[in-house]
Structure 1
Amino acid sequence: MIIIVTLIAIFNIMTSLDTTVPRGPLMPKPQPQPDDRRIDSKTLLGPEGRVIIEHDGQHYLLRQTHAGKLILTK
């Protein structure tokens, strides 16, 4: 029981330090628009199932997991 309470306290401290979480009113989830450009993930990822995306001089890896999910990492 003490371990659970301690883990909850640590989680609360860590999330309060997270500056990526917007403060104030919740931001609405972006919705796809009918005129948004679309590309099939198989075309984007190729037969390897992964692609490097360059954005503002930074490189990001977009890959498909074994479960079929997409993961974007820096």
Structure 2
Amino acid sequence: MSTPTLTTHAAARSRAHGPTAALWHAVELHRPVAEVDGACELTLCGSLARIDVEQVWPVPARDVCPACVVLAR
């Protein structure tokens, strides 16, 4: 019988691109937070965003990616 694993998500901020606003996204972490260097990572919705290790997912903001909210549940 396998033991359940706890999935950890980090908050990541995308860049504004054209008329698209910068949003907060969720990134699934497969390594310790100490090993995350703030580089761009692939988010749950498929965007690239820079991880902000000082932010906790879910972020208490209004500009959050709706797809990441659903996928991070």
Q: Whose strand proportion is higher, 1 or 2?
A: 2
Structure number with greater CO (CA < 8 Å, separation at least 6) is: 2
* Structure label with greater radius of gyration: 1
Q: Whose helix proportion is higher, 1 or 2?
A: 1
TM-score of the two chains, using structure 1 as the length reference: 0.27
TM-score of the two chains, using structure 2 as the length reference: 0.28
